[in-house]
Amino acid sequence: ALFMLTSIALKLSLLIFFRQFVLERKQRNVMTYVTAVYCVMSAIGIFLALFPCGALVHLAKKRVNGQCMPTAVWNGLLYTHGATSALSDWIFALLPRLVLWRSSMTARKKLGVSLLMLFAVCGSLCALLRTIYTGTLHFDERYYDANHKPHYYHVTALVINMAILEMGIGITTASAACLMPLFK
């Protein structure tokens, strides 16, 4: 839930930032629409992560006992969330590219902005990897036994690491883009 809340804040800040540069109304509308769909998907994810299982203290036990939402439904939501995340990342990276290409900036500045956009695309690759490995998330009682291999953390580590990398790359790229005017 915290990941999805962070991703909503990041996507909204990126939308506000990029709407300043994208001048064509159609492109701005595409960015706004994709961000709105992403935020709705994330809000649904937050709701489904927090409320159907009750208190977070009992989340793992209830998931194992099948008292929460079925794993197939949760994984379906995570697949959709990952796909919309990657799509919005690509739109944020490619639509401003058209503006950059037509701009009167020097080649050096264009290169710097292009490298930032390339770094942002790396964040979307993390979203795609996270989405691919979502299918490995199964809840089994044995995962919580420290002596059993694979352990719960072995099963979820890749998905969690990709989620953290995705947000880290996104926040770093957005921060670097905002700091670029200071380096003039």
pLDDT tens, residue order, the chain (184 aa): 788 899 999 999 888 888 877 778 898 899 999 999 999 999 998 888 777 777 666 666 777 777 777 778 888 888 888 889 888 888 888 887 777 777 777 888 788 778 888 888 888 888 888 888 877 666 666 666 667 676 666 667 778 888 889 899 888 888 887 787 776 6
CA 30 to chain CA centroid, Å, is: 18
End-to-end Cα distance, the chain: 39
DSSP 57-105: GGHHHHHHTT-SS-HHHHHHHHHHHHHHHHHHHHHHHHHHHHHHHHS--
Cα–Cα distance measured from residue 18 to residue 52, given in angstroms and rounded to the nearest whole number: 36
| Nearest CA-CA partner of 62 in 47, 80, 50 | 50
Residue pointed to by tokens 């942002």 = 120
Whole-structure pTM value: 0.79
